[in-house]
Structure 1
Amino acid sequence: MLSDLSGPTNGFGLRFLEQLNTSDSNKNVVFSPLSVILAYGMLLEGATGRTREQIKEVLQLSSIGDQNSEISQAAKKLLGEYKSISKSYADRLFSLILGNLLLVNKDYSLKEAFVKSLSRNYFAKAANEDFQKGVEVMNKVNLWVDIKTFGKIDKILTEPPGPDTVCIIINTVYFKGKWRKPFEGSDTFDETFTNSDGTKSKIKMMSLVGMKFKYLHNSIAKFKVIELRYIGKVSMIFILPTESNTLSNLIPTLDQTELERLLNSMIRTKLRAIYIPKFKLEDTHKLHEILPRMGMGLPFSGHAEFKNITEKSDLFVSESIQKAFIEVNEKGTVAAAVTRITGTLGGRSNRAKEDFILDRPFIFMIRDKQTGVNLFLGQINQMPDLN
């Protein structure tokens, strides 16, 4: 059954990717739309007025309902399912582990209803810390993140929080999946990847020959879509523009509705061969700079309204960072993301007839087929040269 968060992770994720491309359309990107939505869903529990509406609009959460409780219930339901996966109650056969943390400066008191809601609906661990001991707090947070992401992201705080920091909200997402049909290492070969700037890179290309995949070749819109299944009801989707198209032209044409239509239009097709590059990517996103450009400016300003978090009237988000990691190889995929929000006082067909070759810039996403949630989304524009 699709999750109510399916639409927001798809729609917001695509608009976030488009926003990143406005500043640099040649960069490689990986991020977790789910992690952003869960972190800001927790923040939403304390937001009021126009601040609350901006968070909902930009994250496309209005489709779930008008009340915060409807959004938190959708999060609770999804997190409950993923909690069962992490504890092996559900036979989904892949690893998906999420964590939520609310760190509170002991010199400030948060409203009890806010803390209870995060614990009840987001399963957030809440801890009071002495922020006068900033280095100690930083080390505790980074150790928690390192453990939750199995060492893929070892820190989310690069400097100690100041004494004027009221609270820190953190979400982590860790995914590990094995291909249903693994690639043979002996079939991996050296190949050339054409980067978005026209340069060439030598890469390691994995291959599978003569198999059926869910596939779509849209000759009018000039792109191809393919689904590679992991063990369990989760998959990786690749969207490849044709040689006469580009990612920068393609991404603005995709929205939640169009993406769902494309995925539903794919049919099982026998391809002569598919070729997927091995890649590893780490990325950092300054959400406090990106989200305001998308229309969510109030949470980061002196006009922020977080009346349901604390009695203090001048609480705002001073900084928000997401770090993300992905590695794709012959066996499968490992991906992780951490999103941090720091709240501070102050102001601011079946015939084999064609190949699918990822030898130029492409979009990728890791999608939970059962809930429809996009766990990770990104693009590859440049590949490092092996030499």
Structure 2
Amino acid sequence: MISPISVNYALYMTYSGADGETKEEMETALKLNGLDSEELNEQMHHLANYLEYGGVDLQIANSIWGRKNRVEFLDTFQDDMKDYYNARMEELDFNDPEASDTINNWVAENTEDKIEEMVPDNIPNGVLVYLINAIYFNGNWDIPFPEENTREDTFITEKGEERTVDMMSISEEEFSYLENNLFQAVALPYEDESYQMTLYLPQEENSLEDFYNEMNSQNWKKWQKEFMDLEGEVKLPKFKMEYEIELNDVLKDMGMETPFEDADLSKMFHQSQGIYISEVLHKSFIEVDEKGTEAAAATSVAVEEAASMHEFQIEFNRPFFYAIENTEVDTILFMGVVHDPTLD
């Protein structure tokens, strides 16, 4: 499971600080279609306000963490992040072990402890900035599954393997339903009926891959219009899942290559040359039972400094060549190879 809105928030904050080719590639990859940063920020601000004041427990939080004494955020960027994203902005000593605890505790707090670690205990020396989104959702079904109906049943995996699951069941209720040659689908509304979980079950002769191949924006919009209210029976397994993915390759395939090599984030902070996005990490959690759904996700964008020529590490832990020379007269006195330093 992924949370598209969480990924978007983290990347949109990054986009707000981008310029040049980095901004152009992000605009293409994120399909912003010429939307400038101010318009995008306003839209995301209004979206968060709308979503958070609904009839479900929904929390959206953003934060930006900079390496102390190395990163100086531009005033305009700070103002935008606070005004539009309500972002917590803080500079930390990333060399202090407590820095990762501070960041991870913020993530845990804003996901009700469903996501507990987004940055490593030892933050890499080159990392300058983390831009992080956290989202939490807790919604009760409008029509709960009766707990007394839950029975052990069989779930068949794509490999044909049988699994015993707790299968929930509800019948003689009206739901929004769609069936075609590709799939069956049902929408389960939450108490705030502007929110619903829509589940798609490929027909037995089809696979999820067949479904994915047909799932595009055009078909998606078409399918939404074809649902109709019908009385029926729904059987759904209880499930609880966690997921983690690094999105670097996905974003590169979407056309966002330059930011991972040489990012222009000159609208974010001073002295922004020689940096790149080293990681876009996404973690998620979901649990579905008779009462409803609890879900959470977090996305972090790590901005790292390219290895400085003034600071390096070299460990001769494999065969190497050496030369002893006089550089004044360009004369080599000795040269050799060490294949095994334990040999005399």
TM bucket normalised to smaller? 0.7 to 0.9
Q: State the 4+ residue runs in structure 1 displaced beyond 4 angstroms.
A: none
Residue 50 (structure 1) shift = 2.5
SS, match of residue 206 in structure 2:
coil
Give the counterpart letter for 1:248 in structure 2: E
Give the counterpart letter for 2:60 in structure 1: L
Larger radius of gyration: 2
Match of 1:162 among 116, 119, 124: 124
Question: Residue in 1 aligned with 2:255?
Answer: 295
Matched residue count: 304
Question: Residue in 2 aligned with 1:315?
Answer: 275
Question: Residue in 2 aligned with 1:6?
Answer: none
In structure 2, distance between residues paired with 1:140 and 1:161: 12
Question: Residue in 1 aligned with 2:91?
Answer: 128
Q: Which moved more, 1:308-317 or 1:67-76?
A: 308-317
Residue 290 (structure 1) shift = 2.6
Question: Residue in 2 aligned with 1:7?
Answer: none
8 Å CA contact retained: 2:101, 2:121: no
Percent identity reads 29
Question: Residue in 2 aligned with 1:47?
Answer: 18
- The answer to whether 1:150 aligns with 2:121 is no
Give the counterpart letter for 1:319 in structure 2: E
SS, match of residue 297 in structure 2:
strand
Residue 112 (structure 1) shift = 1.7
Note the 1:244-259 alignment, pairs <5 A.
244-259=205-220
**Length-normalised TM-score, structure 1:** 0.76
SS, match of residue 114 in structure 2:
coil
- The answer to whether 1:305 aligns with 2:264 is yes
Residue 334 (structure 1) shift = 0.2
Quote the RMSD (CA, aligned, Å). Answer: 1.4
- The answer to whether 1:345 aligns with 2:305 is yes
Give the counterpart letter for 1:101 in structure 2: S
Question: Residue in 1 aligned with 2:240?
Answer: 280
In structure 2, distance between residues paired with 1:258 and 1:116: 40
In structure 1, distance between residues paired with 2:201 and 2:291: 22
Question: Residue in 2 aligned with 1:218?
Answer: 180
**Length-normalised TM-score, structure 2:** 0.85
Task: List alignment gaps of at least 5 residues for structure 1.
Answer: 1-29, 86-91, 348-387
Question: Residue in 1 aligned with 2:5?
Answer: 34
Residue 318 (structure 1) shift = 1.1
Note the 1:58-77 alignment, pairs <5 A.
58-62=29-33, 65-77=34-46
Question: Residue in 2 aligned with 1:240?
Answer: 201
In structure 1, distance between residues paired with 2:188 and 2:59: 21
In structure 2, distance between residues paired with 1:231 and 1:94: 7
8 Å CA contact retained: 2:17, 2:77: yes
- The answer to whether 1:188 aligns with 2:144 is no
In structure 1, distance between residues paired with 2:267 and 2:125: 21
> Deviations along 1:269-317, whole A, 9 cap, x unmatched?
122x110110010000101233213322222113x22221223211211
In structure 2, distance between residues paired with 1:326 and 1:53: 34
Question: Residue in 2 aligned with 1:200?
Answer: 162
SS, match of residue 281 in structure 1:
strand
Residue 48 (structure 1) shift = 1.5
> Deviations along 1:340-387, whole A, 9 cap, x unmatched?
11111117xxxxxxxxxxxxxxxxxxxxxxxxxxxxxxxxxxxxxxxx
> Deviations along 1:68-119, whole A, 9 cap, x unmatched?
2111111111122234x2xxxxxx3210001100111122212221121111
Give the counterpart letter for 2:283 in structure 1: K
In structure 2, distance between residues paired with 1:79 and 1:93: 14
- The answer to whether 1:78 aligns with 2:41 is no
Question: Residue in 1 aligned with 2:284?
Answer: 324
In structure 2, distance between residues paired with 1:296 and 1:198: 38
- The answer to whether 1:57 aligns with 2:33 is no
SS, match of residue 196 in structure 2:
strand
The verdict on how the C-alpha distance between 1:269 and 1:149 changes in structure 2, with shifts beyond 3 A counting, is: same
Question: Residue in 2 aligned with 1:175?
Answer: 137
Note the 1:375-386 alignment, pairs <5 A.
none
Give the counterpart letter for 1:124 in structure 2: A
Give the counterpart letter for 2:251 in structure 1: L
> Deviations along 1:177-204, whole A, 9 cap, x unmatched?
0000101111011111110111111111
In structure 1, distance between residues paired with 2:225 and 2:134: 30
